[in-house]
C-alpha cells in the first residue's frame, strides 16, 4: 500500500539507511536537523510522523502546533526529551526502539569500566604529550572485584554477562527482578544499600524518573566503600554531579566514567571535566554504525506499520498490538467505534458511566483496544483529537467510570459486544456482533438496542424511532419521508411484545432537514425519533 501524501519529518541526525522502510512504503520523508522551535513548528505542518533522537525537545507547545501529528518515534531508548503525557492527551502515539541500543550501550559501559580500571585515557594523553610515565598510571584488575549494578533491565543484564567474563562478582539491585531470574542470570540480588556498601565498581542502568533522579547522590556516596569507581552510561541526572565531584576530591571515590550529563553538552568549566580522575565521552553509548541503523530501522518499521495498518509495537503510551492480533480484532475495533458514536448520539446528558460486556472469540483476546475504540467513538464530539491513544485519559478527566466484563458461558448466544451508557438518570444499551468469515468478509452489525432485537449495519445516515406497535406506522413514516424526497435504503423493525412498544432503525440516503424530523415527531404514534450520523 502506498501513501505518497503522508509526510514524516526527521528532526535529528538519524541514519538515512534506517529510514528506508518509510520511503519504501511511499511516505514522504523530510530530514532537517538543528532547527529552532519556530522552524520546527513550521516544518511539522501537515506531517503525520516525527522522528527524533535526544537532541530535539518535543514539548507540549510543539505538539499543540502540530495538529496533524499522529506518532512521534524516538530512534533510541529513552523518551525523556518527549512530553509523553502531553502527547497522550493529544492522542499522539510515542514509540521508541527499546532493544536497539542494548548491545552498543552495554559495550560502551564495559569499555569505560576497563578504561577506568586501567586509566587508559589519562595514559594515552600523557604519552602523546611526550611523557613516558608508567608509575603514574598503575591501575586495578577486574578479576575478583565486585561490580554493583543498579537496574537489571536489558542493558544491565548484558553488562553483567560481559563483566562475569572478566571474573567479576555481580551484585545487583532491581526491585522488579525475581530471585529465580537472578539465579538464572548468575547474579546476586541485594538491597540498594548493600550494593553501595560492597561494590568496587558501580554502574547504573535505570530510566530517569522523579524516583531515580539523583539515586547516586551524597547519601549513596556516604555508604560506599573507600575507592569505589562509578560509571554512568544511562541518563544524566541519575548521578548527583556535585556530590560526585566532592566525593572524588575527598578521595572517597577513586574515579568516575561518564557518558551522560544532567545538561548536555556540559559547560566547558564543568567541575567534573577539570578532574583527572574523571573519564568522559559525549553521550556515545548508542553511537555505533550498527546501533544507529538499527534504532532508525526499528522506529521506521514501527511507524510504517502503525500509519498503514494501526499495528502498534514499541509504543510507550498505548499497549502493543501486533499485526496478527490486529487482524482478528480489527472488525471488533471498528464495530466498537461505531457503537460508541451511535451511543453518543442517543444520550441527552453527560455520560457518567460506561459498561462493556464481551462474549465469543474476543474473550480469549486482549479486548482493551476494543474498549479504547468504543470510548473514542463515544467521546468523539468531546475532543477534536480523541482517539484510541487518549480515550481512557479523556474519560477519566470527565469522571466517566469504565468497566468491562467477559462472558464465557453461553457466549455463542450472546452479542460479541454489549455496551451500556449511563447518563443523567437513565441507561441505554446497544449491542452488536460480527457476521461472516475471513478478514475481508467479516462485518459488524447492531443486533440489539435497549432490549429490542434489530439487525442493522451501523453506517451512513440512520433514524432510530420508538413508536407504539399499531397498524400503519411504517406507511405513514414512508409517506412523510417520501414527500420530502428522502429515500429509504433499509428499514429494520423490532418489538418486545405485540401491541406494546416497537423500535425501527431506518437507513436513509442523506441527512434529514429539521422540518422532516418535526413532521415525524408530530405523529401521535411516534414516541421518539433520533437522527444518527455514521459517515
CATH number at residue 177: 3.40.50.720
389 and 516 assigned to the same domain: yes
Instruction: Judge whether residue 411 has pLDDT over 60.
Output: no
CA distances from 38 to 35, 82, 473 (A): 8, 17, 62
483 and 397 assigned to the same domain: yes
130 and 166 assigned to the same domain: yes
- The three cell numbers of residue 518 are 418535526
Confirm whether 314 is domain-assigned.
no
Query: Catalytic residue at 453?
Result: no
- The three cell numbers of residue 329 are 480484532
Instruction: Judge whether residue 533 has pLDDT over 60.
Output: yes
Confirm whether 450 is domain-assigned.
yes
Instruction: Judge whether residue 478 has pLDDT over 90.
Output: yes
Burial of 289 (0-12, 13-18, 19+ CB in 10 A): exposed
Cα(380)–Cα(137) distance, rounded to whole angstroms?
67
75 and 163 assigned to the same domain: no
Per the CB < 8 A criterion, the answer to whether 156 and 149 are in contact is yes
Cα(501)–Cα(364) distance, rounded to whole angstroms?
37
148 and 258 assigned to the same domain: yes
Instruction: Judge whether residue 247 has pLDDT over 90.
Output: yes
454 and 476 assigned to the same domain: yes
Instruction: Judge whether residue 3 has pLDDT over 70.
Output: no
Confirm whether 1 is domain-assigned.
no
130 and 275 assigned to the same domain: yes
428 and 519 assigned to the same domain: yes
How many helices (H) and strands (E) in the chain? 17, 22
Place of cell 506499520: 305
Predicted local confidence at residue 382, as pLDDT: 75
Cα(458)–Cα(535) distance, rounded to whole angstroms?
9
Q: β-pairing, 228-232 with 201-204?
A: parallel
Q: Give me the percent of the chain exceeding a pLDDT of 90.
A: 76
Name the active-site residue from 30, 39, 55, 264.
Answer: 264
Cα(157)–Cα(249) distance, rounded to whole angstroms?
31
Average pLDDT estimate for 243-267 = 97
Instruction: Choose among 476, 489, 474: nearest CA to 523.
Output: 476
Instruction: Judge whether residue 437 has pLDDT over 80.
Output: no
Taken in order 98, 104, 109, 112, the sign of the CA dihedral is: negative
Cα(400)–Cα(197) distance, rounded to whole angstroms?
49
Predicted local confidence at residue 86, as pLDDT: 93
Average pLDDT estimate for 73-87 = 90
DSSP 513: P
138 pLDDT band (50/70/90 cuts)? very high
Cα(401)–Cα(418) distance, rounded to whole angstroms?
16
Three-state DSSP at 390 gives coil
Structurally, the chain folds into a number of domains equal to: 3
Residue 202, C-beta contacts closer than 8 angstroms, at least 6 positions apart: 147, 148, 150, 195, 196, 216, 224, 228, 229, 230, 231
Predicted local confidence at residue 338, as pLDDT: 95
371 and 493 assigned to the same domain: yes
Range of the domain at 106: 102-280
Q: Where is mean pLDDT largest: 78-82, 267-271, 439-443?
A: 267-271
Name the active-site residue from 283, 418, 445, 461.
Answer: 283
2 pLDDT band (50/70/90 cuts)? very low
Predicted local confidence at residue 295, as pLDDT: 92
Over the stretch 162-215, which tens digit does the pLDDT of each residue have? Answer: 999 999 999 999 988 888 889 999 999 999 999 999 999 999 999 888 889 999
Helix extents (H) in 119-227: 120-128, 154-164, 179-184, 192-198, 218-223
Instruction: Judge whether residue 384 has pLDDT over 90.
Output: no
Q: Give me the percent of the chain exceeding a pLDDT of 70.
A: 97
1 pLDDT band (50/70/90 cuts)? very low
Confirm whether 2 is domain-assigned.
no
Confirm whether 433 is domain-assigned.
yes
Predicted local confidence at residue 409, as pLDDT: 58
207 and 355 assigned to the same domain: no
Predicted local confidence at residue 245, as pLDDT: 98
Task: For residue 258, give the H/E element and its range.
Answer: strand 253-258
Confirm whether 374 is domain-assigned.
yes
Name the active-site residue from 235, 304, 461, 492.
Answer: 235
Predicted local confidence at residue 425, as pLDDT: 80
- Phi first, then psi: give them for residue 420, nearest 5 degrees: -120, 130
Confirm whether 322 is domain-assigned.
no
370 and 404 assigned to the same domain: yes
Considering only the C-alpha atoms of the chain, give the largest distance between any 2 of them, rounded to a whole number of Å: 110
Query: Catalytic residue at 264?
Result: yes
Average pLDDT estimate for 84-109 = 91
155 and 183 assigned to the same domain: yes
Average pLDDT estimate for 120-135 = 95
Over the stretch 5-61, which tens digit does the pLDDT of each residue have? Answer: 899 999 999 999 999 999 999 999 999 999 999 999 999 999 999 999 988 999 999
Confirm whether 319 is domain-assigned.
no
Q: What is the mean pLDDT of the chain?
A: 92
Cα(247)–Cα(217) distance, rounded to whole angstroms?
10
Amino acid at each position: 500500500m502506498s501513501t505518497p501524501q503522508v509526510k514524516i519529518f526527521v528532526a535529528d541526525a538519524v541514519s538515512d539507511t534506517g529510514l528506508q522502510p518509510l520511503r519504501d512504503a511511499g511516505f514522504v520523508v523530510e530530514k532537517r536537523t538543528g532547527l529552532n522551535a519556530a522552524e520546527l513548528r513550521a516544518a511539522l505542518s501537515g506531517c503525520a510522523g516525527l522522528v527524533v533522537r535526544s537532541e530535539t525537545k518535543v514539548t507540549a507547545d510543539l505538539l499543540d502546533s502540530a495538529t496533524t501529528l499522529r506518532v512521534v518515534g524516538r530512534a533510541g531508548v529513552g523518551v525523556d526529551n518527549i512530553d509523553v503525557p502531553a502527547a497522550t492527551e493529544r492522542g499522539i502515539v510515542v514509540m521508541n526502539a527499546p532493544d536497539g541500543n542494548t548491545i552498543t550501550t552495554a559495550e560502551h559501559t564495559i569499555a569505560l569500566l576497563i578504561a577506568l580500571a586501567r586509566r587508559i585515557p589519562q595514559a594515552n594523553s600523557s604519552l602523546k604529550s611526550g611523557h613516558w610515565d608508567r608509575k603514574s598510571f598503575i591501575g586495578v584488575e577486574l578479576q575478583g572485584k565486585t561490580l554493583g549494578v543498579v537496574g537489571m533491565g536489558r542493558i544491565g543484564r548484558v553488562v553483567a554477562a560481559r563483566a562475569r567474563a572478566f571474573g567479576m562478582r555481580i551484585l545487583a539491585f532491581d526491585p522488579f527482578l525475581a530471585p529465580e531470574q537472578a539465579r538464572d542470570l548468575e547474579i546476586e540480588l541485594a538491597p540498594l544499600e548493600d550494593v553501595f556498601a560492597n561494590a568496587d565498581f558501580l554502574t547504573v542502568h535505570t530510566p530517569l524518573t522523579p524516583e531515580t533522579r539523583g539515586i547516586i547522590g551524597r547519601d549513596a556516596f556516604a555508604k560506599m566503600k573507600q575507592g569505589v569507581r562509578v560509571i554512568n552510561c544511562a541518563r544524566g541526572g541519575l548521578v548527583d554531579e556535585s556530590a560526585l565531584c566532592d566525593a572524588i576530591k575527598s578521595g572517597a571515590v577513586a574515579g568516575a566514567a561518564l557518558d551522560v550529563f544532567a545538561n548536555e553538552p556540559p559547560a566547558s568549566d564543568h567541575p567534573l571535566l577539570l578532574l583527572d580522575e574523571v573519564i568522559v565521552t559525549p553521550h556515545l553509548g548508542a553511537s555505533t554504525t550498527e546501533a544507529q541503523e538499527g534504532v532508525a530501522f526499528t522506529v521506521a518499521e514501527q511507524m510504517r506499520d502503525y500509519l498503514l495498518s494501526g499495528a502498534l509495537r514499541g509504543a510507550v503510551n498505548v499497549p502493543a498490538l501486533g499485526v496478527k492480533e490486529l487482524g482478528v480484532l480489527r472488525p471488533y475495533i471498528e464495530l466498537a467505534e461505531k457503537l460508541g458514536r451511535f451511543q453518543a448520539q442517543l444520550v441527552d446528558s453527560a455520560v457518567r458511566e460506561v459498561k462493556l460486556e464481551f462474549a465469543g472469540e474476543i474473550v480469549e483476546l486482549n479486548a482493551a483496544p476494543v474498549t479504547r475504540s468504543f470510548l473514542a467513538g463515544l467521546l468523539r464530539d468531546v475532543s477534536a483529537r480523541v482517539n484510541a491513544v487518549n480515550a481512557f485519559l479523556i474519560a477519566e478527566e470527565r469522571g466517566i467510570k469504565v468497566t468491562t466484563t467477559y462472558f464465557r458461558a453461553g457466549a455463542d448466544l450472546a452479542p460479541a459486544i454489549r455496551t451500556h451508557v449511563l447518563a443523567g438518570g437513565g441507561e441505554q444499551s446497544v449491542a452488536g456482533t460480527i457476521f461472516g468469515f475471513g478478514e475481508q468478509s467479516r462485518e459488524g452489525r447492531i443486533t440489539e438496542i435497549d432490549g429490542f432485537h434489530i439487525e442493522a449495519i451501523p453506517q451512513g445516515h440512520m433514524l432510530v424511532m420508538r413508536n407504539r406497535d399499531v397498524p400503519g406506522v411504517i406507511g405513514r413514516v414512508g409517506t412523510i419521508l417520501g414527500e420530502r424526497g428522502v429515500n429509504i435504503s433499509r428499514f429494520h423493525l423490532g418489538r418486545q411484545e405485540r401491541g406494546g412498544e416497537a423500535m425501527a432503525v431506518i437507513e436513509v440516503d442523506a441527512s434529514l432537514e429539521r422540518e422532516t424530523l418535526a413532521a415525524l415527531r408530530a405523529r401521535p404514534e411516534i414516541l421518539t425519533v433520533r437522527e444518527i450520523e455514521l459517515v
